[in-house]
Chain A
Amino acid sequence: MPFLTVKFNLQNRVKLAQGLWMLYWLSVIVGIAIFSLGLFFKIELRKRSEIMDNSESHLVPNLLILVGALACGINAFGGKTCHDSLDPLKFAKLKPLLRPYMLLCCGFNALLLLLVLLCFIMQFSVYLTLAEGLKNAIRFYKDTDTPGRCFMKRTLDMTQIEFRCCGNNNFRDWFEVQWISNRYLDMSNELVKDRVLSNVEGKYLMDSVPFSCCNPGSPRPCIQHHLTNNTAHYDYDHRIEQLNIWSRGCRGAVFSYYSSIMNSIGALLIVTIVLESADVAGLKYLSTSLETMADPENPECESEGWLLEKGMKETFADMITKLKTLGRANQVEEGADAPEATS
């Protein structure tokens, strides 16, 4: 009993072929969109790899680029198939390719599903990498003379300006780190010596933040130094002062940016899965309706199209038996002969 049969006359077949052709080309455009999004995501990760310790995982964008290219190829072939399907000669040439092609499409759909899951799960990895990377970036902020780290200051400053954030969790992360290089500290000064001696590791710590933490929207010129000392500035209370410096931490800010990119990519992939499934279903209907034409010479005859030749349960049982025979193919010949004799 075929599954979900539909009757087709010539007009319906032609309309199905045309509609399917347009759907395939729409899928090609979506494939190009996935490819470009993968490229964009890869570039964005590379741009900020310095604050992620250069250890971020490029698995998702690489897979996206691959999947986008594959989607274009597969759907272009599908479109060509639809275009040729109404010509009996060309269709006869394509018939043997159709079954492996549809299996390939199903496999591709499974890959897309895996990618959607990855998009949502890899966000955890990005978060953890960011946390670690920003911690190190703040520690190496002062090392503008160390090869390999000399641009850390600029990168971190630009990140804080661009994402409107300060520090890892908040601005107090800057209080725990020496962010002024020893080259610019006058070690003979009493104040400097006091500060250096005030902690075990001999670091010059202060309650100040770099200029990139400043909020331009504040009505007051930016207060960067002596942030916790109310008497150091006129009419200043650090507990109620909101607008002076950015209150958000950079980890949250940069993560929400990447998270929104990955979420939109995930949504687009779900749309692609739906499109691809529609493509495969349509192609199955078209190919079965063309194959079951009672009189191949007369194009005007009616035919039936279906999704599965037998019902769901029977097709499933068939697949399992096939897998079992594949498994038994390596066994002794007697075992292999027996299923052949019974079928």
Chain B
Amino acid sequence: MTLLKMKFNQQRRVRLAQGLWLMSWMAVMCGAFVFCLGVYLKIELLRRAEVMDNAEIHVVPNILIMVGLASIGTNWVATRVCQDSLDATRFPRWKVLLLPWFAVAALLCCLLVAVVVLSYALQGRLEESLKEGLRNGIRFYKDTDVPGRCFQKETIDRLQMDFRCCGNNNFKDWFEVQWVSNRYLDFTSQEVKDRIRSNVDRRYLLDGVPFSCCNPSSPRPCLRYHLTDNHAHFNYDYQGEELNLHPRGCRKALVDYYMGLLNSTGPGVLSVILIQMSVFLSLRYLQTAVEGALDLENPEDESEGYILEKGVKETFEDVKLQILGLLKFGQVDPTEEAPVDEDAEKAASPSPDS
């Protein structure tokens, strides 16, 4: 009982080959699109790699890049098969290649589905990675003279200005960290000495933030020192002052940005999956129709195209037997002969009853 069979005459076969050729080239473009998408995501993640603690999220663009390249190659092979399909002399050489082709195409579709699932599943890990990375960035902000960390200040400043954010959760993260290097502190000053003695770790903590936290949209020139002291500035209320600094934290800003990127690529990847599946099915129809036509006496006659020669269950059983046969190939000979003897015995034993 063949699965989803259709009749194809010569004209329909030709049309199927032509349509499939066009669709395969479209699938090549889609493969290139997936590749470019992967490269773009990778570049965006690498740009902010300094504030990420681990690189687990990179698995998404890596898979996209690999799948894009493989898809370009696979669909190009499909175009060649289509071109040769109507020529009886050139088609047979593709016969051997078609089963691996179907396996690779199915694998690519599965990988693309996995990418969509991963991009949602890895959100938590991304957030953790950003939390740790930003925490370190803020701690090492002042170390502009330590090799390996001297650009941390510039990175964090640019990040806060580009993403309009301040601190990890909010601007108060800057109050808990010494972000002014000791090189620029006058240790003879009473104020500095008081602040250092005010905490156990002897850090110079102040209720101020770096300039990159300033919000350009605020109507008032930026106030960034003595933020908790209402009397330090004219007409200033610490609790009510909203717009002078960036309101949101950098972790949330970055997570939103990356999730937005991944979500917007979702529909694109899903349509690529659809196109790949249609190429898969159409190529199967073309293969079976052309092979059927070649077997006929008159190749121009009608032939049948189908997805599976037998039903789903029977094909499954066939495949299982084939795999088991391959596995048993490595075992000792007597075991191979035994089932044959058993069958002969079984054939012999019921005969007295019947």
Q: Is the CB of B185 within 8 A of A234?
A: yes
**Distance A1 CA – B158 CA, assembled complex (angstroms):** 71
Q: Does A216 contact B (CB under 8 A)?
A: yes
Counting contact residues on chain A (CB < 8 A from B), the size range is 20 to 34
Name B114-161 residues within 8 Å CB distance of A: 144-145, 150, 153-154, 157-158, 161
Q: Is the CB of A219 within 8 A of B186?
A: no
**Distance A185 CA – B236 CA, assembled complex (angstroms):** 11
Q: Does B212 contact A (CB under 8 A)?
A: yes
Q: Is the CB of B180 within 8 A of A221?
A: yes
Name B24-49 residues within 8 Å CB distance of A: none
Q: Does B220 contact A (CB under 8 A)?
A: yes
Q: Is the CB of A217 within 8 A of B186?
A: no
Q: Does B221 contact A (CB under 8 A)?
A: yes
Q: Is the CB of B212 within 8 A of A216?
A: yes
Q: Is the CB of B161 within 8 A of A161?
A: yes
Q: Given the known inter-chain contacts A153-B219, A216-B154, please indicate yes or no for A211 contacting B181, CB distance below 8 A.
A: no
Q: Is the CB of B221 within 8 A of A179?
A: yes
| Centre residue among A180, A181, A216 by max chain B CB count within 10 A | A216
Q: Is the CB of A145 within 8 A of B183?
A: no
Inter-chain contacts of B220 with A (CB < 8 A): 144, 181, 183-184
Q: Given the known inter-chain contacts A184-B235, A221-B184, A222-B210, please indicate yes or no for A144 contacting B219, CB distance below 8 A.
A: yes
Q: Is the CB of B216 within 8 A of A161?
A: yes
**Distance A63 CA – B217 CA, assembled complex (angstroms):** 35
**Distance A150 CA – B210 CA, assembled complex (angstroms):** 25
Q: Does A214 contact B (CB under 8 A)?
A: yes
| Cβ distance B314 to chain A, nearest Cβ, rounded Å | 56
Q: Is the CB of A212 within 8 A of B185?
A: no
Q: Using a Cβ–Cβ cut-off of 8 Å, how many residues does chain B contribute to the interface with A?
A: 30
Q: Is the CB of A234 within 8 A of B234?
A: no
Inter-chain contacts of A185 with B (CB < 8 A): 234
Q: Does B76 contact A (CB under 8 A)?
A: no
Q: Is the CB of A219 within 8 A of B216?
A: no
Inter-chain contacts of A181 with B (CB < 8 A): 219-220
Inter-chain contacts of A233 with B (CB < 8 A): 184
Q: Is the CB of B219 within 8 A of A145?
A: yes
Q: Which of A179, A184, A189, A217 makes the CB contact (< 8 A) with B154?
A: A217
Q: Given the known inter-chain contacts A158-B216, A216-B154, A234-B186, please indicate yes or no for A211 contacting B161, CB distance below 8 A.
A: no
Q: Does B203 contact A (CB under 8 A)?
A: no
| Cβ distance A33 to chain B, nearest Cβ, rounded Å | 21
Name A221-241 residues within 8 Å CB distance of B: 221-222, 224, 233-235
B144 to A, closest residue via Cβ? A219
Q: Does A220 contact B (CB under 8 A)?
A: yes
Q: Is the CB of B153 within 8 A of A219?
A: yes
Inter-chain contacts of B181 with A (CB < 8 A): 219-220
**Distance A233 CA – B181 CA, assembled complex (angstroms):** 14
| Centre residue among A181, A183, A214 by max chain B CB count within 10 A | A214
Q: Does A90 contact B (CB under 8 A)?
A: no
| Cβ distance B241 to chain A, nearest Cβ, rounded Å | 12
| Cβ distance B227 to chain A, nearest Cβ, rounded Å | 14
Name A115-167 residues within 8 Å CB distance of B: 144-145, 150, 153-154, 157-158, 161
Q: Which of B180, B183, B234 makes the CB contact (< 8 A) with A184?
A: B234
Q: Does A210 contact B (CB under 8 A)?
A: yes
Q: Does A186 contact B (CB under 8 A)?
A: yes
Q: Does B21 contact A (CB under 8 A)?
A: no
Q: Does B296 contact A (CB under 8 A)?
A: no
Q: Does B214 contact A (CB under 8 A)?
A: yes
Q: Does B179 contact A (CB under 8 A)?
A: yes
| Centre residue among A150, A154, A179, A180 by max chain B CB count within 10 A | A154
**Distance A224 CA – B214 CA, assembled complex (angstroms):** 13
The 8 A CB mask of A190-219 against B (1 = contact, 0 = none) is 000000000000000000001110101101
Inter-chain contacts of B189 with A (CB < 8 A): 234
Inter-chain contacts of B216 with A (CB < 8 A): 153-154, 157-158, 161, 212
Inter-chain contacts of B179 with A (CB < 8 A): 221
Q: Which of B153, B186, B211 makes the CB contact (< 8 A) with A211?
A: B211
| Cβ distance B197 to chain A, nearest Cβ, rounded Å | 18
| Centre residue among A154, A181, A185, A221 by max chain B CB count within 10 A | A221
**Distance A214 CA – B183 CA, assembled complex (angstroms):** 19
**Distance A181 CA – B220 CA, assembled complex (angstroms):** 8
Inter-chain contacts of A184 with B (CB < 8 A): 220-221, 233-235
The 8 A CB mask of B149-179 against A (1 = contact, 0 = none) is 0100110011001000000000000000001
The 8 A CB mask of A165-188 against B (1 = contact, 0 = none) is 000000000000001110111100
Q: Which of A154, A183, A217 makes the CB contact (< 8 A) with B235?
A: A183
Q: Is the CB of B157 within 8 A of A216?
A: yes
Inter-chain contacts of B214 with A (CB < 8 A): 211-212
B233 to A, closest residue via Cβ? A184
**Distance A180 CA – B221 CA, assembled complex (angstroms):** 7
30 A-B residue pairs with CB within 8 Å: A145-B219, A153-B219, A154-B216, A157-B216, A158-B216, A181-B219, A183-B220, A184-B234, A184-B235, A186-B235, A210-B222, A211-B211, A211-B224, A214-B211, A216-B153, A216-B154, A216-B157, A216-B158, A219-B145, A219-B150, A219-B181, A220-B144, A220-B181, A220-B183, A221-B211, A222-B211, A233-B184, A234-B184, A234-B186, A235-B184
A binding-site residues for B, Cβ under 8 Å? 144-145, 150, 153-154, 157-158, 161, 179-181, 183-186, 189, 210-212, 214, 216-217, 219-222, 224, 233-235
Beyond contacts A150-B219, A181-B220, A216-B212: 16 other A-B pairs, Cβ-Cβ < 8 A, are A157-B216, A158-B216, A161-B161, A180-B221, A183-B235, A184-B220, A185-B234, A211-B214, A211-B222, A219-B145, A220-B144, A220-B184, A222-B210, A234-B184, A234-B189, A235-B183
4 tightest A-B contacts by CB?
Answer: A216-B157, A157-B216, A144-B219, A219-B144
